[in-house]
A = this chain, B = another copy of it.
């Protein structure tokens, strides 16, 4: 178990060694570690060495000049200048919040960015302002559309954070696939089979092999099969791709550059970097915030009390598992798998930063 503070300090030091300004290094560490706190282990410190390798390959700019390239009172298009998504995304979300402050809502599409950690972090930034926050991003292609055997979309997550009063906020944050790639990686490490509906083989047959994507297979859109609604998951992933990248001028669909340094980006890009999309809506642009938040309490309490199926404990509100995990991990520390520990030790040696 690693105390949060220890991993945070280490991560910030590594970003400093990459040449990030101190404020950015701190912010990037905070965003990245939020994934570990919330139990999304695939998106946290496990990816630190990946960011470093992309920086070494010249594909991440540690000192980006993040600019608004186009705007209206309620919108902006942001160029991330190849910066860490962990830094570009909070900057873009700040712009969305500032616009919402002035005209009720703010919407920001971002190009020329990189992986931004967990979408939930960015959506939740709106909560303390009595706003609803939204965040989404495209990602390198792993997902085959319904009827297809070609990987065309990323796992393209959507996060929506909605404030309540006494109750903790509603925070949905999910990949638009049946299961996120991180969930598959866990099964790979444990050498367990995947449930049906998660992946297909290279020729489009349903499969339970968690290594299927490595053999030319694909992740499946939420729904899994056409009969079970995969065309809806495909549509959701497509909407995320279009809002994040076609609106902003980033790469979309099969052109989204891979997160790993050993795979080159496509040599015929249709845009710059990867794309994100953020939204902020002031509650009191629709209704007095207190009134709304009291009804959200009622909404949450009512759903929590819904009758449960035999064998299940409770109906959960989106965000419940991650909030509980955060409380546990802040107290007991963050567990790391041996390969992640090894990765961090190598970074520690290479950059002469104490782990």
A residues apposed to B, CB below 8 Å = 70-75, 77, 103-105, 107, 109, 132, 144-150, 152, 160, 162, 170, 172, 174-179, 195-198, 203-204, 222-224, 227-229, 231-236, 238-239, 241-243, 246-249, 252-254, 270-271, 281-283, 285-287, 291-292, 295-296, 298-299, 302-303, 306-310, 312-316, 318
With contacts A147-B316, A303-B152 taken as known, whether A309 is within 8 angstroms of B74 at the C-beta atoms is: no
Task: Report how far A307 CA is from B107 CA in the complex, Å.
Answer: 34
Q: B286 to A270, Cβ gap below 8 A? A: no
Task: Report how far A57 CA is from B94 CA in the complex, Å.
Answer: 49
A172 and chain B: residue at smallest CB distance: B235
Q: A309 to B149, Cβ gap below 8 A? A: yes
Residue numbers in B under 8 Å from A271 (CB-CB):
295
Q: A74 to B74, Cβ gap below 8 A? A: yes
Residue numbers in B under 8 Å from A238 (CB-CB):
170, 172, 303, 318
Task: Report how far A232 CA is from B178 CA in the complex, Å.
Answer: 9
Q: A75 to B235, Cβ gap below 8 A? A: no
- Write the nearest CB–CB distance from A85 to chain B, whole angstroms: 19
| Of listed A107, A144, A235, A282, residue having the most chain B CB within 10 A | A235
- Write the nearest CB–CB distance from A89 to chain B, whole angstroms: 17
Residue numbers in B under 8 Å from A70 (CB-CB):
285-287
With contacts A270-B295, A306-B145 taken as known, whether A287 is within 8 angstroms of B77 at the C-beta atoms is: yes
Q: A74 to B104, Cβ gap below 8 A? A: yes
Q: B77 to A286, Cβ gap below 8 A? A: yes
Residue numbers in B under 8 Å from A231 (CB-CB):
174, 316, 318
| Of listed A148, A302, A308, residue having the most chain B CB within 10 A | A148
Task: Report how far A298 CA is from B152 CA in the complex, Å.
Answer: 13
The 8 Å CB contact of A147, one of B203, B227, B308, is: B308
The 8 Å CB contact of A203, one of B149, B310, B315, is: B310
The 8 Å CB contact of A298, one of B145, B223, B270, is: B270
| Of listed A107, A175, A249, residue having the most chain B CB within 10 A | A107
A198 and chain B: residue at smallest CB distance: B228
Q: B246 to A296, Cβ gap below 8 A? A: yes
A-B contact pairs, 13 of them (CB 8 A): A70-B287, A105-B105, A132-B243, A148-B312, A148-B315, A149-B309, A152-B303, A160-B235, A172-B235, A174-B235, A203-B310, A246-B292, A253-B299
The 8 Å CB contact of A286, one of B109, B252, B308, B309, is: B109
Task: Report how far A178 CA is from B285 CA in the complex, Å.
Answer: 33
Residue numbers in B under 8 Å from A312 (CB-CB):
147-148
Q: A197 to B228, Cβ gap below 8 A? A: yes
A134 and chain B: residue at smallest CB distance: B239
The 8 Å CB contact of A295, one of B149, B239, B246, is: B246
Task: Report how far A302 CA is from B177 CA in the complex, Å.
Answer: 20
A180 and chain B: residue at smallest CB distance: B229
Task: Report how far A150 CA is from B238 CA in the complex, Å.
Answer: 32
Residue numbers in B under 8 Å from A229 (CB-CB):
174, 177-179, 197, 222-224
Residue numbers in B under 8 Å from A302 (CB-CB):
152, 253-254
Q: A242 to B296, Cβ gap below 8 A? A: yes
Q: A203 to B309, Cβ gap below 8 A? A: yes
The 8 Å CB contact of A105, one of B74, B145, B228, B246, is: B74
